[in-house]
């Protein structure tokens, strides 16, 4: 994962929808994680805050230095590391979780192979990633996005089973989604040559960030009531389908 592919979901007013959607995965993971745990992608530190108090040990890795104050946690450790290679021994961890990361990995097969290697037999890997069926535009920070079957088939090459779940939203969430979708379509109608898919990924990154932030700010200024009212509890996990916002997969070694 290169230094140019990191995205962070921080708690700013215009990012509340994204933040709460990401936070839901950590709360769901609380019911699954146990023992010696590895988090791939420290990000803003949600995993440390939410998961570390529940497990024997949490090792969290990221390609960037972390701003988390690890002195507050006697069982959490940060290691700066670039994936897909994982600098850990075979059969080390009881649980690995990696939220909104695999889409940033060029060699996703090597990534999953390494996760399987460092997991103990019977250990679980929890993964979230956007569902390409509900993505509103191409995200040039992502090497790829997956359908529900594509990700499951890929994971089954390295794990004995995959429990395929999806992140869904209630009526409030879907109202926000539809407003956002309409705004994106207004922007994309000017892309008459379909450049978002025909130009190289890296050449679109600046424009994507600019337009994405502009759209969120516009929605925030017009009416922030809906976005601000959304919490993690407005999202729920159920069997995956094409309408899932994110794929939430639990693989067992």
pLDDT mean over 82-108: 97
| Residue 3 lies inside a defined structural domain of this protein | no
pLDDT mean over 57-74: 95
Can you give the pTM of this predicted structure? 0.85
User: Model confidence over 172-187: pLDDT tens digits?
Assistant: 999 999 988 888 777 6
What percent of the chain clears pLDDT 90, i.e. is strictly above it? 69
Q: How many domains does the chain have?
A: 1
- Structural domain boundaries, residue 84: 13-252
- Range in 61-65, 93-97, 190-194, 232-236 with the lowest mean pLDDT: 190-194
| Residue 8 lies inside a defined structural domain of this protein | no
What pLDDT does residue 6 have? 45
Looking up residue 151, the CATH number of its domain turns out to be: 3.40.50.150
| Residue 144 lies inside a defined structural domain of this protein | yes
Q: Whole-angstrom Cα distance, residue 247 to residue 123?
A: 20
Choose among 102, 105, 60, 244: nearest CA to 164: 244
pLDDT mean over 90-103: 97
| Residue 119 lies inside a defined structural domain of this protein | yes
Q: How many CB atoms lie within 10 A of CB 89?
A: 9
| Structure-model confidence comparison of residues 207 and 170, the more confident one | 170
What pLDDT does residue 139 have? 75
pLDDT mean over 123-143: 90
- pLDDT band of residue 141 (cuts 50, 70, 90) is confident
Cβ distance 91 to 35 under 8 Å? no
Say whether pLDDT at 224 is over 80. Answer: no
Choose among 9, 5, 54, 16: nearest CA to 217: 16
- pLDDT band of residue 15 (cuts 50, 70, 90) is confident
Q: How many CB atoms lie within 10 A of CB 69?
A: 9
| Residue 202 lies inside a defined structural domain of this protein | yes
Helices (H), 80-128: 108-118
Tell the burial category of 240 from Cβ atoms under 10 Å away from its Cβ (0-12, 13-18, 19+). buried
| Residue 7 lies inside a defined structural domain of this protein | no
Say whether pLDDT at 8 is over 80. Answer: no
| Residue 6 lies inside a defined structural domain of this protein | no
Collect all residues with Cβ–Cβ distance below 8 Å to 139 and sequence separation of at least 6.
103, 130, 145, 208
| Residue 2 lies inside a defined structural domain of this protein | no
**For all residues of the chain together, what is the average pLDDT?**
87
């Amino acid at each position: 994962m290169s230094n140019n592919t990191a995205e962070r979901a921080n708690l700013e007013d215009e990012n509340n929808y994204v933040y709460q959607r990401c936070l839901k995965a950590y709360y769901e993971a609380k019911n699954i994680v146990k023992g010696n745990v590895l988090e791939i992608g420290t990000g803003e530190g949600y995993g440390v805050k939410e998961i570390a108090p529940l497990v024997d040990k949490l090792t969290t890795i990221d390609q960037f230095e972390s701003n988390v104050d690890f002195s507050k946690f006697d069982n959490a450790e940060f290691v700066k590391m670039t994936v897909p290679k994982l600098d850990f021994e075979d059969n080390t961890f009881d649980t690995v979780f990696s939220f909104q990361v695999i889409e940033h990995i060029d060699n996703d097969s090597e990534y999953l192979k390494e996760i399987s290697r460092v997991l103990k037999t019977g250990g679980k890997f929890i993964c979230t990633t956007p569902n390409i069926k509900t993505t509103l535009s191409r995200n040039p920070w992502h090497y790829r996005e997956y359908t529900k079957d594509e990700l499951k088939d890929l994971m089954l090459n390295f794990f004995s089973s995959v429990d395929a779940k999806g992140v869904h939203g209630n009526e409030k969430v879907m109202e926000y989604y539809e407003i956002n979708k309409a705004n994106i379509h207004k922007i994309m109608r000017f892309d008459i040559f379909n450049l978002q898919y025909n130009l190289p990924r890296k050449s679109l990154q600046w424009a994507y960030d600019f337009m994405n932030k502009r759209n969120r700010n516009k929605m925030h200024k017009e009416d922030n009531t809906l976005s601000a009212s959304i919490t993690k509890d407005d999202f729920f996990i159920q069997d995956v389908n094409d309408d899932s916002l994110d794929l939430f997969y639990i693989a067992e070694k």
